Structure 1
Amino acid sequence: MASHPVGKRLPISCEPCRKRKIRCPRDHRPCQTCIRRGLRPEECIFLGQSRLSLEHVSATESSIQRELLARIRNLEDLLHKQIDGQAPLQNPGDPVSPPITTAGSTKTFSESDRGTDVLSTESRNQPPGNVGSLQVSPSGHVRYVPLPSQWNSVLAETPANQDIEDLGSDLADEEDHDLLFSSRGAASRAELLALLPPGRYCDALKDVYFKVFSPLFHVLHDPTFEAEYQQFRRDADSMSMGWVALLFIILAIAVTALDDNDPTLSDLGRERTVSGNIKVLSSRYRSAAMRCLAADGIVSRHSLRALQALILLIYARSHRSLPTWTLLGFTHHVAIAMGCHIDPDRFGLGSVECEERRRAWAALVMMYTVQNTAFGSLDQRLLTQDVRLPADVDDASLIHGTHPDRRMGPTQMTYLLIKFRLYEISSKICQGIFSLPNKSLFTIPQLEKEIFTVQEICNTSYLRDTTREPLPDHHMANLNIIYSYIHQLCLLMHRPGFCRYLQGDNSDETRNSRKRCVDSARSVLSIYETLCKSPQFAPYIWYNSGLGSFHAFHGAIVLAVVLMKPDSQAEFNDIKAILQNSLDTFASLSHRSNICSKAVKILRHLIDVACSRNYRNPEPPETHLSPPGPGNSSAGFIPTGSPVTESQMETLFAQIQPQYWVTPSAIPWEGWDFLTEGQPLSFQQPVPV
Structure 2
Amino acid sequence: MDQQPVQLPSPCSGVGVGVGVDHSCDARSVTAMGTIFAEDNLDDSLDNVNNDFYGSSSAVSFLKETMKEAYSAMNPLPSRVEPSVLFKNHRQTALVPDRSPFADFNKFLLPPRPFADHLIQVYFRRIHYLYPVFHRPAFEHAYETLWRPSTAVDDAAASNPFHGVGLGCSPGADSRTIVFHAALNSMFALACNHADLTPPEKAKGVEVFILRSRQFFSVDLLEKNNLGVVQTLLLCGLVMQGTPFPDRCWNAIGAACRIAQGLGLHMEASREPGNATLEKEIRRRTWHGCVILDT
Same fold (TM over 0.5): yes
The answer (yes or no) to whether the contact 1:245–1:293 under 8 Å persists in 2 is yes
Specify the code of the residue in structure 1 equivalent to 2:225: H
- Which stretches in structure 2 are left out of the alignment for 5+ residues? 1-23, 27-31, 54-61, 75-102, 154-174
Alignment partner of 1:334 out of 250, 253, 259:
259
What do the CA deviations read for 1:337-387 (whole angstroms, capped 9, x no partner)? 322222352373322222221111101111111xxxxxxxxxxxxxxxxxx
- The answer for the alignment partner of 1:214 in structure 2 is 128
* Secondary structure of 2:51's aligned partner: strand
The answer (yes or no) to whether the contact 1:208–1:257 under 8 Å persists in 2 is yes
Alignment partner of 1:193 out of 104, 108, 111:
108
The answer (yes or no) to whether the contact 2:230–2:257 under 8 Å persists in 1 is no
Instruction: Please give the residue correspondences for 1:290-305 in structure 2 after superposition, counting only pairs within 5 Å.
Output: 290-294=214-218, 297-305=220-228
- The answer for the alignment partner of 2:186 in structure 1 is 249
Cα distance in structure 2, aligned partners of 1:177 and 1:284: 23
The answer (yes or no) to whether the contact 1:179–1:287 under 8 Å persists in 2 is no
Aligned-pair CA distance for 1:230: 1.1
Instruction: Please give the residue correspondences for 1:110-149 in structure 2 after superposition, counting only pairs within 5 Å.
Output: 134-135=37-38, 137-138=40-41, 139=43, 140=45, 141=47, 142=49, 144=51
The answer (yes or no) to whether the contact 1:208–1:254 under 8 Å persists in 2 is yes
What do the CA deviations read for 1:381-437 (whole angstroms, capped 9, x no partner)? xxxxxxxxxxxxxxxxxxxxxxxxxxxxxxxxxxxxxxxxxxxxxxxxxxxxxxxxx
Aligned-pair CA distance for 1:216: 1.8
Cα distance in structure 1, aligned partners of 2:292 and 2:137: 24
* Secondary structure of 1:292's aligned partner: coil
Aligned-pair CA distance for 1:283: 2.7
- The answer for the alignment partner of 1:315 in structure 2 is 238
Instruction: Please give the residue correspondences for 1:548-567 in structure 2 after superposition, counting only pairs within 5 Å.
Output: none
* Secondary structure of 1:220's aligned partner: coil
Instruction: Please give the residue correspondences for 1:553-632 in structure 2 after superposition, counting only pairs within 5 Å.
Output: none
Instruction: Please give the residue correspondences for 1:51-200 in structure 2 after superposition, counting only pairs within 5 Å.
Output: 134-135=37-38, 137-138=40-41, 139=43, 140=45, 141=47, 142=49, 144=51, 180-181=66-67, 182-186=69-73, 188=103, 190-194=105-109, 196-200=110-114
Identical-pair percentage: 22
- The answer for the alignment partner of 1:450 in structure 2 is none
What do the CA deviations read for 1:310-336 (whole angstroms, capped 9, x no partner)? 101111221335312222222211222
* Secondary structure of 1:258's aligned partner: coil
Alignment partner of 2:287 out of 339, 361, 364:
361
Cα distance in structure 2, aligned partners of 1:105 and 1:314: 17
Q: Which has the higher helix share?
A: 1
Aligned-pair CA distance for 1:254: 0.6
- The answer for the alignment partner of 2:162 in structure 1 is none
- Which stretches in structure 1 are left out of the alignment for 5+ residues? 1-103, 107-128, 147-175, 266-273, 370-689
Aligned-pair CA distance for 1:133: 6.9
The answer (yes or no) to whether the contact 1:248–1:288 under 8 Å persists in 2 is yes
Q: CA distance change for structure 1 residues 350 and 286 in 2, over 3 Å: closer, same or farther?
A: farther
Cα distance in structure 2, aligned partners of 1:206 and 1:133: 34
Q: CA distance change for structure 1 residues 105 and 282 in 2, over 3 Å: closer, same or farther?
A: closer
- The answer for the alignment partner of 1:569 in structure 2 is none
Aligned-pair CA distance for 1:144: 3.5
Aligned-pair CA distance for 1:186: 4.0
Cα distance in structure 1, aligned partners of 2:183 and 2:117: 14
* Secondary structure of 2:216's aligned partner: helix
Q: CA distance change for structure 1 residues 311 and 281 in 2, over 3 Å: closer, same or farther?
A: same
- The answer for the alignment partner of 1:466 in structure 2 is none
- The answer for the alignment partner of 1:85 in structure 2 is none
Report the structure number with the largest CA radius of gyration: 1
- Once superposed, what is the RMSD of the aligned Cα atoms? 3.4
* Secondary structure of 2:132's aligned partner: coil
Aligned-pair CA distance for 1:203: 1.1
The answer (yes or no) to whether the contact 2:234–2:252 under 8 Å persists in 1 is no
The answer (yes or no) to whether the contact 2:231–2:256 under 8 Å persists in 1 is no
Specify the code of the residue in structure 2 equivalent to 1:180: T
Cα distance in structure 2, aligned partners of 1:283 and 1:193: 16
Q: TM-score, normalised by structure 2?
A: 0.58
Q: CA distance change for structure 1 residues 246 and 347 in 2, over 3 Å: closer, same or farther?
A: farther
Cα distance in structure 2, aligned partners of 1:203 and 1:145: 42
The answer (yes or no) to whether the contact 1:249–1:313 under 8 Å persists in 2 is yes
- The answer for the alignment partner of 1:562 in structure 2 is none
Aligned residues: 202
- The answer for the alignment partner of 1:534 in structure 2 is none
What do the CA deviations read for 1:435-458 (whole angstroms, capped 9, x no partner)? xxxxxxxxxxxxxxxxxxxxxxxx
What do the CA deviations read for 1:180-209 (whole angstroms, capped 9, x no partner)? 333214453622112x21222111111111
Greater RCO, 1 or 2 (C-alpha within 8 Å, sep 6+): 2
Q: CA distance change for structure 1 residues 241 and 134 in 2, over 3 Å: closer, same or farther?
A: closer
Cα distance in structure 2, aligned partners of 1:206 and 1:257: 11
Specify the code of the residue in structure 1 equivalent to 2:107: L
- The answer for the alignment partner of 1:475 in structure 2 is none
Asked whether 1:231 is paired with 2:168, we answer: no
Instruction: Please give the residue correspondences for 1:391-540 in structure 2 after superposition, counting only pairs within 5 Å.
Output: none
- The answer for the alignment partner of 2:274 in structure 1 is 348
- The answer for the alignment partner of 1:655 in structure 2 is none
Cα distance in structure 1, aligned partners of 2:273 and 2:107: 34
Cα distance in structure 2, aligned partners of 1:248 and 1:186: 15
Aligned-pair CA distance for 1:179: 5.6
